[in-house]
Amino acid sequence: MLYLLRKFALLLLTLFVAATINFFLPRLIPGDAVGAMMAKYQGNLSPQAADALRLAYGLGNEGSAFQEYLKYLVKLLHGDFGRSITQFPTPAADVIAAAAPWTIGLIGVCTLISFLIGSALGLYSAWKGNQRFASALPAIGLFLGALPYFWVGSLLVYVFSLWHNVFPLGGNLDPFIGDSFTPKWWSSMLRHAVLPACSIIITAVGGWLVTMRNNAVSVMGEDYLAFARAKGLSERRILSRYVLRNAMLPSLTGFGIALGFVVGGSILVEQVYSYPGLGYYLFSAVTSKDFPLMQAIFLIISAAVLIANFLVDILYTFLDPRVRTGLGA
């Protein structure tokens, strides 16, 4: 329990740090970045939007930076992420609310799938280390892990949408699909998701593979494995109860860190497929200099990653008795 409490404290601390970075980053940038930005929008910006922007970045406001900061934190706690400039006056929260389910669905599911496939392959590679395919797997994993996500996305589009018209070119659903969650909707949704999902899985699998393989190899060098063999246990039992159970633990602790990387890469995939998730909006926010929206998306991605992390921590306590019962006799 102490372990989970500590992890939860870390979650809150990190969220707080993310929010703080968000607040201070535009103010720390050397030169008048915001001023320049305002200048760029001159004419295209409604007066209200300009005011909102000024307010958001502390230009010509009354209070001190610290008071502004407190106000900002309070607003965040109420779910107010500011307003998007390009879609003024739509609250950034609304844009996010529309986009987030797509991202969480796509990236969440793909991360899970690639974790499972990668770990399984890594375990196989360690277990059958002397076979040709098994020993080639780590190198393959390293290659896949070094591929840019968006590039794999582009290639898949080229092969399966442009060259052979198997899957749709982009988007999340066919137009005029009607009600959500009908069989037609599901089929369209899945058809649109296949290519983005594959690009994410192909590139993310490598990292999990290598991690799991290294963990499993070091577990296989442990004395308790030799002892299990000496006991005459079946290979299956050794693999599941001894190798897998122990090799999984460091994979899970590394999950949080790796998740940040995977999500970072995956949001670019959304851009390739015009998949209307957070990554796509982040991209359009970047191109249209919609800083409030950009920052709100950063915050929400952070929150999602941190929460996923915390869920993994909870799972971890079930798998590692040392954490559950506290270390030491």
Partner 1 sequence: MSSPATELTTATELTTATELTTGVRPGTPLTAAVSANAALELHGLTKAFKCGRGGRVVTAVNNVSLRIERGEVLALVGESGSGKSTVARLVARLETPTSGSVSVGGQAVPRRLGSAGLRALRRRVQMIFQDPYASLNALNTVGYTLSRPIRIHKLAPGREVGAQVSALLDRVGLSPGALWAARRPNELSGGQRQRVVIARALAARPELILADEPTSALDVSIRLDIMNLLLDLKDQEGLSMLFITHDLAGARYMADRVAVMYAGSVVEIGPAQEVIGNPQMPYTQLLRRAAPKFGEGTETQGAGAQDAGELPLRGEVPDLSKLPTGCAFEPRCPHATAACKVALPPLYELSPGHLVRCVLFDPARPGAR
Partner 2 sequence: MSAAASAPRPRLAALGRRPLDALGSLMRRSPKAAAGIVILLVLSLMAISAPLWTSYDPTSLAFKSMLTPSRLHPLGTTFVGQDILSQLLYGARFTMLIGLLTGLIATLIGTAVGISAAYFGGRFDEIVNGIINVVLVLPGFPLLIVAAALLENAGDWAIIIVISLTGWAWGARVLRAQAMTLRRRDFIDAAVSTGEGPGRIIFREMLPNLSGIIAANFFGTALYGVLSESGLKFIGVGDVTQPSWGSMLYWAAGHTALLKGAWWWVMAPGLCIALLGTSFALLNFAIDEIANPKAANAGRLRAARRGKGRVLASQSAAQTLTRPNMKIQPPNPAALLSVRHLTAGYQTPQGPVRAVRNVSLDVMPGEFLGLAGESGCGKSTLAFAATRLLAEPGEVFSGQSVLEGVDLLTLSESELRRRRWKDYSMVFQASMNVLNPVLRVREQLYDAMQAHGVTDKAKLDARARELFGLVGIRESYLDVYPHQLSGGMKQRVVIAIALALEPKLVVLDEPTTALDVVVQRQILEEIQAVRRRLGIGIVMITHDLSLLTEMSDRIAIMYAGEIVEEAPSSVLQSAPLHPYTRRLMTAFPPLGGERTRREGIPGRPPSLALDLTGCPFAERCDSVMPICSLQKPVLSDLSPGHRVACFLHASPEQLTLAKPEVNHVLASD
Minimum Å distance from CB 172 to partner 2?
19
From the list partner 2, partner 1, none, partner contacted by residue 171 (C-beta under 5 to 8 A by kind):
none
From the list partner 1, partner 2, none, partner contacted by residue 104 (C-beta under 5 to 8 A by kind):
none
| Token digits of residue 202 | 């192909």
Minimum Å distance from CB 326 to partner 1?
8
Q: Could you tell me if 215 and 250 are in contact, meaning their C-beta atoms sit under 8 angstroms apart?
A: yes
Q: Is 2 in the site for partner 1 (CB under 8 A)?
A: yes
Q: Which is nearer to partner 2, 189 or 260 (CB)?
A: 260
Find the binding residues for partner 1 in span 4-63 (CB under 8 A): 6
Q: Which is nearer to partner 2, 53 or 294 (CB)?
A: 294
Separation of alpha carbons 119 and 107, rounded Å: 17
Place of tokens 């009600």: 179
Q: Which is nearer to partner 2, 175 or 321 (CB)?
A: 321
CA terminus-to-terminus distance, the chain = 17
Minimum Å distance from CB 329 to partner 1?
8
Selection from 132, 114, 304 nearest residue 212 by Cα: 114
Selection from 215, 266, 269 nearest residue 245 by Cα: 215
Find the binding residues for partner 1 in span 276-315 (CB under 8 A): none
Tell me 84's DSSP state.
Answer: -
φ/ψ of residue 82, rounded to 5? 85, -175
Minimum Å distance from CB 118 to partner 1?
34
List CB contacts of 298: < 8 A, sequence separation 6 or more. 18, 22, 282
Minimum Å distance from CB 50 to partner 1?
50
Give the interface with partner 1 as residue ranges (CB under 8 A): 2, 6, 327
